[in-house]
Structure 1
Amino acid sequence: MTWLNETIKAQRAMLAARLESPMSGLTERCAMSWRDRDRLDEILRAALADMPGCQLIYAIDTNGRQVSANVGRDAIDRGKYGQNLARRPYLSNAIPYKGFLLSDVYLSPPDRRSCVTAV
């Protein structure tokens, strides 16, 4: 493996380690308020505070439909409820039953910035 591949692998491992604690249990907290959009958004906002490198968080159902707002550091965008994200690159892989996965780097459709998504 080249030094670049090793560097990327190490950075992904570091990111996964930083997200492991705040992501653990988040699914259970979200599931308890799944039908209460306002409460779900607040749970996500609280989780975002524990993820310093994360810029945006939202919940999607098993069909790829967004069931929460886009919760960002400075705002909650409730206009994103119901959008279909099923074709996003981070949903093209199998979703883990437990834990989470990090997507490959991709360009975010809205602003064309490179990003990684934790699912």
Structure 2
Amino acid sequence: MPYFNLKFSNTDNELANFAKALALPVRIAIVRIIIANGNLVPKESLYSIPFNQETITKHIAELKRMGILKTHGLRGSIKYSIDERLFRQMADGFAMLFESIRRFEHDLQDY
């Protein structure tokens, strides 16, 4: 079956979308800063990343749109956190994927 005719599961699509959302170093930096600060950080703290504020704001908006970031507070005192449930779900999905790859490699060695 050609690759382009495959129908992908919801899990595969979710994992791929999550990976794409975090595929940029600036977005990883945003997530790391939030985690390093107890999973709640004011927007201003994210401006320490070596990009201009407009770029950081754009990436924050995209991470929010994809459900990775949550917003707390009101205008002027906005804070961000990571959606822990989503991260756990994606981590479990990636762990299962990597484990199946390990099993496959092990089976090939035994063959």
Q: TM-score, normalised by structure 2?
A: 0.31
Q: Rg larger in 1 or in 2?
A: 2
